[in-house]
Structure 1
């Protein structure tokens, strides 16, 4: 429930947040479809209020599993109310417990700035926040998956090529579209030159391909006779810039390279650039949907998610389409891990459901104690959930990220500490806001109570 302090925070967030223009988001989904993606597992790591969910094509939305990460608590709670069918998490991206190689697509307008998030996986790189989002997103998508990010032009144009080298070591550039500096003026009241960067993570053993982009800068001369340095990709593909690069303004005592629009409607210019992207390149690595052999099948209950593991008469089964396929031929250790993780997953679901259903405190405590027993038993036999052997065994199950959120795992020491759900309520009972003083506060309370 929103407290009055949180309402003040929500007002401040609304004033300061920058949001993506709908025409740009729709264009990115048009690009995604051109690249061959129709539905699957979608990650939005800088969600905001969820514009990338709200503007997703209806059929793609209906057939996809969507995860959104949002650092601001009020914004995340509002997004949960707006999009209850999505898995929306209030946490920094660097603290999210998402499974590697799980998602088909990462799509977002990522933050940029001088902040360097701490993530032990990238401590030797010490990436700035916008660079970090590229590196971390590539870990989260599976081979053959796609990354479509809006980022500042500095990602491609800066002289320090460390991030480009890192990305190019595992992904190919499919294309980039430079947006005019006023593309976000109407929505975010800001004028900044940004790029849509489109990447494809390579399959194991696949050789690098695609246009040159990771190397040094190139120079172009514009219609005003100005010489401007920019990424070699745009020098070779000026048709992917929706306007002309010029030296504008006086930032820090010098002119700033800026893309000035061509005067045409943005949706038309964007559609023309999208039409130049490659077609149907989304051909991801096949998931192990059908393990070694199948003994028998049963109709799948609605509550079991696609590709999820479950137990049928104490036998491991997998939902494949509308049926449950009983699996045989799994190695003994893999079967033990899957069986144990199914029980932990079901226990945490019961614990969460007890908090959501408004049951008595005694019922909530009983469900929490059951979760502790189930989790402790698993860890005693097979180690923390986050250990590679466990995540590999359960890879592909849509609730693996939920399981990973149960632990704070130190990759250097291999030790895990329990998350708050093992000790306390993580979903509080709603208490009504006693009063509001503005229409904006009334709207926030209404959205929260729906």
Structure 2
């Protein structure tokens, strides 16, 4: 008889959860996120510009009225000040890997899946690291990057990836969303983070919002890791932190909340983040007309393959027993996320 501690049970549970995440619509919560996210972006000074939206359900994050609420793709568009929720007149598939965008929004793959097998957790973490750094690399200096990721991205112990994020961008703010708010199905109830980042220009004065350290906390006698950003700003955690009894280790963290309060809580958090950032001068910077933002060769992370450089402290996707043959929808031969 198999049980939750059996590797084959964990692998099957994870595969079912991945399938549910891929094929179950999250249209309503994504539209809620989109509406309040775009209001925050307008407050931060984004009026118009070139936009790349990639990952899970990009049409919803562009405000498309006929979005389906699931599916991986990468879309580019020119957004103007009059476009409702940022939705442009025309969106096209992302093809030009040399372009640098004014705004990049990435809903990273399987961000809401609560993996139970350690190998699967490691694989998802590595993809998140790679795509987060790639998203920043595709954002021009002075532009904005928005990432929807599993809480593991920030709650992991101090990593080279977090240092690279801090080197390239200032954290405008982050909101931790309750588990199950995207898809209320067992296995897709992983807490997720909505991060707003300002791509730093070379030599520019930097805003200090440290997010490169996860502190140990005790919840119900269990030791968990919580990023110091949220430890110092509990109002940006939209629910009650708890422990997942089926997951071991320091990342067995959950966030539970009344789903009827989600929209109001998200609105308050994003409005507060955008208002404080505006007061601090951490704003979107308009592209200087006639200045060509050249493609940047990143030495900080590998975009030519399916892993990060572990010699630099990145997290290598796990291989061997328990590692599924994922049809990774993230990286093509160029190494960039064309989905």
Q: TM-score range by the shorter chain?
A: 0.5 to 0.7
- Name 2:163's counterpart in structure 1: 165
Please say if residues 171 and 197 of structure 2, whose CA atoms lie closer than 8 Å, have aligned partners that are also in contact.
yes
| Helix, strand or coil at the partner of 2:135 | helix
Q: Distance in 2 between matches of 1:284 and 1:258?
A: 36
Distance 2:134 2:224 in 1: 31
Q: Distance in 2 between matches of 1:219 and 1:104?
A: 36
Corresponding position of 1:259:
255
Q: CA deviation at 1:252?
A: 5.2
Give matches, 1:7-86, under 5 Å.
16-17=22-23, 20=26, 21=29, 22-46=31-55, 48=57, 50-55=59-64, 59=81, 61=83, 85-86=90-91
CA distance, structure 2, for counterparts of residue 270 and residue 15 of structure 1: 22
Counterpart mapping for 1:175-214 below 5 A:
175-186=173-184, 190-214=188-212
CA distance in 1 between counterparts of 2:173 and 2:85 reads 26
Q: Distance in 2 between matches of 1:58 and 1:19?
A: 28
Q: How far 1:144 sits from its partner (Å)?
A: 1.0
Aligned equivalents of 1:139 and 1:35: distance in 2? Answer: 20
Aligned length: 250
Contact 1:25/1:55 (CA < 8 Å) preserved in 2? no
Structure 2 residue aligned with 1:218: 215
2:109 to 108, 111, 121: 111
RMSD of aligned alpha carbons: 3.8
Residues 142, 287 of structure 2: 8 Å contact kept: no
Distance 1:142 1:151, change over 3 A: same
SS in structure 2 opposite 1:229?
strand
Q: 1:272 aligns with which of 256, 259, 268?
A: 268
Note closer, same or farther for the CA distance 1:55–1:226 as it changes in structure 2 (3 Å cut): farther
**How far apart in 1 are the matches of 2:38 and 2:142?**
18
Aligned CA distance change for structure 1 residues 247 and 236 (closer, same or farther; 3 Å): same
C-alpha displacement of 1:60 = 5.2
Structure 1: stretches of 5+ with no match in the other structure: 1-11, 67-83, 90-95, 118-126, 292-391, 401-409, 412-450
**In 2 relative to 1, CA 221–60 (structure 1 residues): closer, same or farther, beyond 3 Å?**
farther
Uncovered stretches (5+) of structure 2, i.e. residues with no partner: 1-17, 66-78, 111-119, 296-302, 305-339
| Structure 2 residue aligned with 1:250 | 246
Q: Distance in 2 between matches of 1:33 and 1:287?
A: 19
Q: TM-score with structure 1 length normalisation?
A: 0.48
Question: How far apart, in 1, do the equivalents of 2:241 and 2:48 lie?
Answer: 36
Is 2:145–2:197's contact at 8 Å kept on the other side of the alignment? yes
Which residue pairs with 1:76 in the alignment? Answer: none
| Contact 2:176/2:193, CA 8 A, preserved across alignment | yes
Residue number in structure 2 paired with 1:382 = none
CA distance in 2, matches of 1:153, 1:275: 21
> Is the 1:44–1:107 Cα contact (8 Å) retained in structure 2?
yes
Q: Secondary structure at the match of 1:106?
A: strand
**Partner SS for 1:16:** helix
Choose 1 or 2 for highest CA Rg: 1
SS at match of 2:204: coil
Q: Scaled by the length of structure 2, what TM-score is found?
A: 0.62
SS in 2 for 1:97: coil
Number of the residue aligned with 2:234: 238
Cα shift readout 1:235-294 (whole Å, capped 9, x = no counterpart) = 1000100011111231258982101115652100101111221344334264233x8xxx
d(CA) in 2 for partners of 1:44, 1:60: 19
Query: Is the 1:105–1:145 Cα contact (8 Å) retained in structure 2?
Result: yes
In the alignment, the residues of structure 1 paired with residue 263 and residue 85 of structure 2 have an alpha-carbon distance, to the nearest angstrom, of 26
SS at match of 2:244: strand
Give 2:131's aligned residue. 133
1:155 is displaced (CA, Å) by 0.4
Q: Residues of 2 paired with 1:65 and 1:26: CA distance?
A: 11
User: 8 Å contact 1:181–1:191 — kept in the other structure?
Assistant: yes
Higher helix share: 1
